[in-house]
Structure 1
Amino acid sequence: MMEDIDPPRRHGQLREEAADWFAIMRNPEEAEPRRKEFEAWLARGALHRAAYNRIAEAYSIGKRLKDPPEEDTVTSYGESRDDIRQSEPRPKAKKRVVFLLALLGTVALVAHWASGSPREEPKHPSLAMGSAPGTSDRSVLKLATAIGEIRSFRLDDGSVVALDTNSLVLVDFDDMRRTLRLLRGRARFTVAHEDRPFAVHAGRGRVIARGTIFDVNLLPDNHVVVRLIRGAVDVATEIPEPGPAQPALRLSPGQQVELLNEPVLLVHDIVEAKPDDRAWPEGLKEYANARLGDVFADANRYADIPLVGETADIDDIRVSGVFRITDSARLARNVGDLRGLAVISRPKSISLARRCPVPQQGNCRPPS
């Protein structure tokens, strides 16, 4: 018996379909009316069933904040996008199912991504990488992404830096140390094991890691949030001299700390990180009873055309599920189907409304 006889899909397309179905089936209001459609999608073949199972397994792992193996994370954020630069080829990652790799790895992800399966091209080109001003006999590498782009870069030591939209990192390696500075945005660092210390500076914060995975987010107010995914890091606030040295904080996996932009010694609270934003390098975010206005705000960080509510009451509608926030048009369609809303596409906005306007304005997709 033959299965999966439909025309071949992009790997990314099947992953997206599986992620969408997973989000739909987790919502009680949406699951039952669309169950037959979902079962028909599953019945199309083994790849579809495997894709959905990978998403479900990844979600379960992520909820428990398990530590993903470093090698798999590297493959997910780099080799599969063909975005990694400046290093010699590395061996294929071990084929293990992990949260960060598997959340979008829906078509036997580990095997496909480890072999470099195709993925969507970013909608904006990366900013150029090169030497930063003020360098001497060695160059400082600049890693940057444009608005709407998420991209990963492999460094000379084998470490990988994944950058969120509109982010900038300077990289300065020498024989004694590995020093990076986050100047804008958010980055995930997957650190290669070696003797040289690996330090990330952002705002007044300093993070020291040796073989680990962690996020650093530089907020608009110059506050810094450090989130540990795997391993251990020491986090400290850099106090201008002659102030007292800031004792370092040791984070455990699943913990995060916020460093304030204050030139004084502060006591920082280590808290458990929510799992909703762990898959940001893949453009996914989980919401639980979230306002649509907040979902729109997250999506608009990546959008050329903003996603808005046609009327003020739309922003207060609540949604739950895992959504791809890097594709506003797709997000609008999914939310429209989920909540029975019309989607109005105009040249300068994508709006959600209770119904299509009369007279017709733009291209309106009526409520389902």
Structure 2
Amino acid sequence: MLKNFWYAVEFADQVGRQPKKVTCLGQDFVLYRTEAGMVTCLSDLCVHRGGALSMGSVTGDCIACPYHGWQYDSAGVCVKIPANAEERKIPRKARVDAYPTVERYGMVWAFLGDLPEAQRPPIPVLPEHDDPTFRRVQYEMVIDANYERALENVVDASHTPFVHGTAFGNPDKPGIPDFRIRTGDWSAEADIQLSPPPPKGLWGLLAKRKPRPEYVTVTNGWYLPNLVKLHIRLPIGDLLLYDFNIPLSQDRTLIKIIGYRNFFTGGWADANTRKRIEMILLQDRPVVESQRPELLPFDLSDELHVRSDGLQVAYRRRRAQLIKDGWWVGGDDIITGDVPRRKATIIPSPARRDNPELASAWVHKARNGGATS
């Protein structure tokens, strides 16, 4: 799992004044909106006795722990301890990690890492979001597989005739012509020619009026840390799926999808679009969940690659560079409890870097354990 990136952790319309628990990189966070409507993201763990802040309540711009009522502002600083006498000061250690947040493309993004703002990678651009000719839907599903396996599955064009059959691919013509990969510092994408299946159902009604092409151009791409794009150019219009593969843990992934289409743009077609997205995921899920090894190998040579695997190879090479640079969630980010032994992931926030004297001042406890960081 990669830290020091912006992660889209929740659909924006699912976050309000009521605290919302989300999980990413194996760590629990709490989201809520301030009175001005801005989203706050804090570690979901009260520094006092480890209560879950997501079970608490929001007053003004602060969130209160459900256990002893400690209140934290949007910067993670404790501003009230109800049990304290008025003359007692709040300890400087009384704070929790706060993570920068941005609301964009209908998603809440949290920066999970401690890099200064100028050094943070950019949020990927989704140009269709502001295009009035496109209609948007959203969908989500949890799968029991590593997020990188899920990510690579989407950019793997050669699996479509076999996993998706005539629903998405053409088993009679599974060949993949050579394609050129366009790479950037944080992304790679390619235009790939696929033989299309005969269109069916609602979408096939309009397609019957148009000649069936020998090939359709599908744009596949990945955008670090966990976003993949599938752009299908159908005879009736464009369909784009953006998959956010959120690592709940090493072996469990929450897939949140934003779908854009510029055909059948009335709300009456949304349910059909979601049904098609669900069908694709249900076809992929058992295959991805059965892959071994469960985690992507660190060494590129540990799995066999062919020409059509170019996007996956590009991802693994960039990933290897970032691991070398220390961006991998590793031993420094994992703490182990002592009675009984349990592990938990803790992602440092920018406040730890900005306040060196407080870098290890506030406490984190593993679930069912007693370790601290």
By relative contact order (CA 8 Å, sep 6+), the higher-ranking structure is 2
The TM-score with structure 1 as length reference comes to: 0.28
TM-score, normalised by the number of residues in structure 2: 0.28
